[in-house]
Chains A and B, each alone.
Chain A
């Protein structure tokens, strides 16, 4: 994750600084160019100001700019007539070879200045300004042209660029270091989390430590709950497996002795057959009970809420098919939008077992009520059967009762229900319904 963030921020930095550098460079170059054009324009005005026509030529005796007078100084002045004949050139341009055509736009309006760049052999790059004007005294159009070497400008821009690159380079290094340090600091809780998790894996600690930033607390709390419920589940399965193995040992022992006895007596008596059938049935009962006990019981950890109505509809539909002959009437009283925060198959197992008993032992009526209290689901199942004898109720409410101690019939189903209720930290109450049958009230969560 850190590598990704460093990479992302690094790319962003390069992109940002690169773009900023480009924009600054362009802006500076443009301003230098604009200043140069302004300077050329001023020089043109200066030429026009001192130009004196005489005999078809121009004389400029009072030129103030010394660079016009100094040969190859980098600043050159020219005057052309409308046909492009050179009428005057500054002493500085004595040796300058020049193609005048590009400078003299025939479509130029009087008072218009054109700018451009040209190359002039040894003198290197030149930028020029050409101004067309109408001289009333002579009744003619003239072009006043000033050229300036681009070298000083290029040098100025290069110097600016060097400074810019230097500063931006320094900025990049500085920001990269800052970014690395900030990321290390900001991601330290996640690193701590990874260390905590590996410490849990290695068995050095049971839970994630509690000093995480508030943004991470919901994650760590849920992880802790998940770890806890996973551990409970492991314990649950371990004890279940032990329970299963131990409860199978007794019938196995009876089977083994019955077989030994039969071998010893050299005959398979009806008593032997009965004993073996009994033990097989007992083993079957033990296995079904333990299988049913294998509930998930995820509580509300990361659980999506399950709508209760469709689950009840499915179970009731299935049971009405199975107990078709009884034509049981079902009274459903469900609160609006009632939900279960847990595993759907656990809810189905719970409702299936309770309702199976209600359909089986009820005479003709089953009532189901469901309500919600916060995240807790409240269920009530009533029937009009004979009810559960008070002396039997404690069997049912014993959690984790060994399979071989659970009575068959109503007992097994309800023992499984008790397991599920307990896995979700809920409660189960057995009473007598208003019709004299069983009334089972369950709170889940």
Chain B
């Protein structure tokens, strides 16, 4: 097989993450591409959670799709929930101990899903028990069922390894891993590498898990063979970074020279700051490579305010947050905009408004980022389409902030934040540190920080020798308050001139990119994590006879209007489709504002779940062939 899709489900807190943490590096070490998305509730223990994973023989996989080849169910709820996510002839592992569990007994399942399932089961003549679902899948869908008595496994662990009975439950994930290892014939050495990564230094845990995985794998493959065996990987040599988007961005910030990061805990952003906290001192072979101050603040207002303060001292400074946190930051954002402060806000979008879907993704804060805070002031907005883009962009965000002396909002989303990917090792030739007109040493004395005729002026930092004034009021060249109308007119324009300069200087090819042929028959326009899905969908569409291209928007301010206009002009407007994770088509609206191009076709998803390749493919066909102008995607549990 070229690609294998896996889904493992279980209750939150039951060790589900371990499966991805072990399998991702294991497969990656052999040259397979790995992408694993985790879906979970805003809950600590008990709610249904699952990991949807793709392993690809053809390098890095770009996106996820359904149906899957294998569902590993840690509990009854996972069987009920994902019954229709398995392909015909796929594999289902479940716990024999829950065979008699009835759907109505699943207290943790939300009533909306329960009702939908009841109806679906009724329609298909399925008994609403685990056994009923299993029987149906086996008989009607040709699914091969792997029943495992979890209790028997736990008993074995107690007996053979002396594991405490209460602890035995924690090895569930290795039952699932074992089945996957068996079905795919994964090399045991690779499994060892995965276990070492996951249980670093805890020898006994590695040993028990290894034994359990081996035992399950042997049993599964003795009955089923290795039906999910992947082709030889195309990659035979290389180096990959296997990590979540949160971690990748944190690593990039470290390379980019972050010296101050503030945060207030919020999903799905805080993992990034916690990662940085764990690296507050950087050292290799006793060589001091620098320090990072990471401050957990009392609220997001303090997070951005202190980050701005740190930026005034010359520190590369940032804060990471999500929608509700950003809402609290906007007043201070305006102060940074007013005072030419290079501060970076790493913004992981989740479902809003209000608390919304705290642990689910969206792309609904683009317009908000562009206009947040009262008054008018320039800012740079960039967004990343995949892990590697996020890595480079997190570094570039600091460069742009310092070069153009304005706040930079780096938009990401929950999908990318929580997805584990095997990312190619970054190319250092592409990385530069550019600090603009910062001065760490300046002549002693009061300093004219905001010369009228110099939109981007020398920036002596606090402590540089010069002294400077800053204010949120309208200011004169010295940073002192003035309400003078002529000064106001000049200073106001001075701020906006910085964006004009940025627009001239930031290469267009960095800000937007056309993937595919400009002579293609249709065009998808998207941003952020839509990129990975769109690029895969185009391949499948081409195989079906639809030849399309994808326009990826990476920077919304300054917006590459001319380039985008040029690309759009080469397509039939009826065959240009905006693809976004929101209701309004927010990027499309920005395109309209900036170019005058009016979108007629939309494929949108705001359910909080990632976009999947197969639903986008279907959506595009519905638009191109079915005459639909607005397709709303909803796949995913």
Q: Tell me, yes or no, whether A binds B.
A: no
List the interface of chain A (C-beta within 8 A of B): none
Q: Interface on B for A, CB 8 Å cutoff? A: none
